[in-house]
A and B are shown apart, each in its own frame.
Chain A
């Protein structure tokens, strides 16, 4: 199985901050990488697919980059509604695997 790691595991930030989360795959996955946002008690929300493509309706303050083994999710200007846990997931090979998550709080 491909192992996914994320860093940091948690971070504290303020409204207006630029935040970057890193995701690393244990082997190359091309651009088969997705990002999800999950708020407490809610289902995950899909943000990005193909490492850098925004899902429909996702605001442009979210951006993704990377290819191969190293990827980043950036939130350009953190807003109160962005405080959540963020997960990456590879879908290059079965079983698809999620990273452990990064919790973004104040």
Chain B
């Protein structure tokens, strides 16, 4: 069974760093692009970026470039989203999702993780 399992909810203070994870199983992790999507409370979906775990090729939305870092460790089939200095405006649900077809960077999301809620508050 194809699955993406994300790390648990986090409560952080402004200025703290954070790295959340998304572990893939049931498929060849290195050959499918995997991405991150933000959903702020009560709002819609925002595409943040994607990574190809096979060679760590990464694409960012300009809205998130420089604000977050997307990475992957193919040895443990896990993708990451990290912040070096959180802001209150980073409070949101974050989803990882895998592309539909192997190797295709221009592709639709097929499988989604369950989401990780990040709350940033002093």
Contact = CB atoms under 8 A, between A and B. Distances in A.
Interface of A: 1, 32, 34, 36, 38, 43-46, 49-50, 55, 87, 89, 91-101
Contacts of B112: 43-46
Interface of B: 37, 44-47, 49-50, 59-63, 95, 97, 100, 106-115
22 contacts: A1-B62, A43-B95, A43-B115, A44-B37, A44-B45, A44-B97, A44-B109, A46-B100, A46-B108, A46-B110, A46-B112, A49-B110, A50-B108, A55-B100, A89-B109, A91-B106, A94-B59, A94-B61, A95-B59, A97-B47, A98-B46, A101-B44
Nearest to B63: A95
Residue of A55, A96, A98 with most chain B CB atoms under a 10 A cut-off? A96
A104 to B, nearest CB: 15
A91 B107 contact: yes
B110 to A, nearest CB: 5
B44 A100 contact: yes
A91 B62 CA distance: 15
Nearest to A98: B45
A55 B99 CA distance: 12
A44 B108 contact: no
B100 A98 contact: no
B44 A87 contact: yes
